[in-house]
Structure 1
Amino acid sequence: MKLPRKVTHVLWRLCKECLPTNAALYNIHVDVNPTCPWCHSAVETNLHAIFLCDFVLTMWHVVGLQSLVQCTEHETPKEVFDRVFHQGSKDQCLEVTMLCWSLWYCRNKWIWDRANGSIFGVRNTTNCLFREWAEAQAREENMKIGGKVGDRVWSKQSTGWVKINVDATVFIMGGIGVAAIIKDNQSAFVASRVMKLPGEWSPREAEALALKEVLSWVINRYMHCEFQTDCYALAASCNGSTGSSLFDTIVIDCIGLSKHINQVLFSFAFHYANNVAHVLAHAAYSMTDVGDWFVTPPNFLVRSLELDSII
């Protein structure tokens, strides 16, 4: 089940029983009262904070999920979730997870900010979280290119293919830096190029120029190439229709150049997945000539390339 990261983080800590409840802090000799800040009638364990406190029991009853999350003090949070995911519907499981996050969030707001901790407040927080999550899913769906959402971390291509990450940066003092990193299907560094181009260009035009320069460079070198950019407009235009702006004219040139390569893919990646090319493009600012590296990367890129491999 797909969930917001902040929700999965709380659920993971809850299942591991390592949420910083009052009891947990008291056990590591922090000077706090170990009792529950809401009901003041029991020690605040992970299980109590989310499932057994009088306040949260009322909340689970109000939302109609009390039978699904009902438990005893001898169970663990993980056992409760195992039962929820086994017996509940997908919608019920989603609501339980969102409410768990909201309970912990509102509990902390009450402790630190003395914000009103009411059942209405918990449900309102959950509704806001649901709405934000739905909107995020809709945006992600709209950003699909060829049925695929952009990579959030760097990923290798299939056997026989190379992945070419392309990026550009616009310098305040004029000119742009364009760069490309080529890696094979084993994630090994193959080559890279960086150069500085003169002129005044918009960020989108700079990204398109970077792709054009890289396409010109790799023609007759590789047969199967995936070109990846963190400019969504560029990736979408290369896979769809174009207009008549300067940006679109450069894109048309790129498409024309790509026809000289046997197989080509144009894809979008989020910034982090394109970080190595981003670092290299910035390096163009201090360069006076084209920088090419083959087999062995420049020293200043080694750390960034290692991070790609770790992820």
Structure 2
Amino acid sequence: MRKARRGLRPSYTWSSILSAKWVLDQGCIWRVGSGDSIGIWEDQWVPQAVGFRLYYGQRHSNHVSRVSQLLSPSGKSWNPALIRDIFVPHEAALILQIPLAGASSSEGAVSAGTWTALWKENSIPRCKEFAWRACHDVLLVRAVLAHCGVELDPICPLCGEVEKTGCHALFLCREVAPIWFGSHLSMDFRQAPHGFTVLNWLHQIFNEKDDWVVDSVLTLMLAIWERRNKWCFEKRWLPYMVIQRALSLAMVELSSSSQSGGAGVRARNIAGSATRGWKAPIAGRIKINVDVVVPAGSDMGFGYIARNSHGQVLATAAAKWP
């Protein structure tokens, strides 16, 4: 995008996008992987440096011009001796703090496998796109925004603890863990192992080869994120039961049109589903199931789920009223 050209007969839309390219030039930053495409001096790639660039190093030292030349021979880590020889101490320290994307072959294999499995799923596209952003830990949680210079409190708006990563917002927050445990998935993240990451966890989920579980997980991840954002930006608080019930509607007997026996066992274990199965609409029609919860002494909550004749989830939503 940054190197795109106007062309001979550009459309009005493309011309408008290019006219705002300077905004991207100011705010975009390279994520270091192999480093082959990143120029040390001309590109923006150092997150904590002024303007994301380097200014004080020895620009002609050892003819080093690409970031890949600053890596070790294996390409999996930095070369500290070379970096300290070329750059002033504070710039060298900033470089050595930068994590490398795909720093190990095993992580690269996990990432590639998760990517392939994720985009083969028949889940809602925006759920898959959100899951992929969560895998790469690029969700804009408060600690990340604060680290990038945005003036705000890095504390989690739900539980009051430091919201360091997307893992906290989606799984580890004490206001979120009960949603996972209380759902029909019954997953307990209160004792998550040290080093828990979304990428590795989803890789394990995909290895189970249970489409019903994968669909449930992806849908619930996005629902939890949207619940968090409604509180952050609208001060609207959705109770646990609204999220859980909306997800249950999305997944009850989802496997009735599937050939997976394991999914059928899981679906029948949902409370109440053994006596009240979901029936698919006729071909070409969409069925929308709606449920409402009216807790004593609090606002009403409702949710809906839309599915086609194959049982595939097309859309879900949950909200509080009024």
Same-fold call, TM > 0.5?
no
Larger C-alpha radius of gyration, 1 or 2?
A: 1
Q: TM-score, normalised by structure 1?
A: 0.39
Q: TM-score, normalised by structure 2?
A: 0.38
